Amino acid sequence: MIAVLEHELSLYYHSMKAYVFGAFLLVFTGIGSLLYNINASVANFEYVLSFISITFIALVPIMTMRTMAEERSQKTDQLLFSLPISTTDIVLGKFFAIVIVFLIPVIIICAYPLIFAQYGDVFLPTCYGTILAFFFLGVALLSMGMFVSCLTESQSMAAGICVVVMLLNYFCDSLSEYVSSTVVGSIVGMVFVILIVGVLVSYLTIYVIGGILVFVFLALAVVGAYIYDSTVLEGLLPNIMEKLSLFTRFETFVNGVFDVTVLVYDVSVIIFFLFLCVQSLEKRRYNG
């Protein structure tokens, strides 16, 4: 894993990608600080982090589009598979390299509240709690971007799909207002989601029957819930969409509440998508 980590870091810092990423994030932090903390005379630095969180929609695809797609397009993934390292080591090495690239500008951002505290009444625990949540939000989104990169060998396609995924996650809470909250609407929506899960499982495993079994099992669970108590399904899909949004959960910290469940959810998302990355590479190694 260390060898992969060092190789990936050298690629990022021998090109302009890591520097552009950090500069872009810090420039927007400066703009947000100017708008909220200086011009509007607001002491809450967490509003700045909420303002710049939207930049992840552009930054995450740029940072993650090459992680797996480039290896696949250049056929260097077969070279990686021939090395005496596990697939997990490959995924973790690439993942931690991106996390380090992201961590460096976040560490610089940590100086902002201390600077503003010299000129106003800044509540540092809330600021740094929000910075922590901001870091976990970014890492969770990076894990999602890495998984998207596993699905294709085209970097441009990986970036495009990742942008769509980021936008859906960002507006998931708003879109839930337009989703039917009726029982029938929830059933149709859940069946559609279950179908996607089934297809995903079939794609990531060597057994197609696995995806079919997952689809049948989850579909029977929905039918069973409807038979047992149909009111349970009322408003279920909109509620799920509200809970899925990483950005909406991050706003809890912006509002001054240190919610550990948000961090736990972020960590769960990270582990889940890294697991999917490993499964995707395992299938490719097996088929190769």
Helix residue ranges, H only, the chain: 2-13, 17-33, 46-52, 56-64, 69-73, 77-82, 87-109, 111-117, 124-150, 155-170, 172-175, 183-204, 208-228, 236-244, 246-254, 260-287
- Determine the pLDDT at residue 192: 79
- Determine the pLDDT at residue 8: 84
Residue 153: count of CB within 10 angstroms of its CB:
17
Average pLDDT, the chain: 83
Q: How far apart are CA 59 and CA 28, in angstroms?
A: 12
- Determine the pLDDT at residue 237: 75
Q: Give the pLDDT band of residue 149 (cuts 50, 70, 90).
A: confident
- Determine the pLDDT at residue 150: 84
Q: What is the DSSP string of 206-223?
A: S-HHHHHHHHHHHHHHHH
Whether 89 has a pLDDT exceeding 90, the answer reads: no
pLDDT single digits (tens) 156-180: 888 898 999 899 888 887 877 777 6
- Determine the pLDDT at residue 286: 64
Q: Which of 32-36, 203-207, 217-221, 230-234 has the lowest mean pLDDT?
A: 203-207
**Cα end-to-end distance, the chain, whole Å:** 21
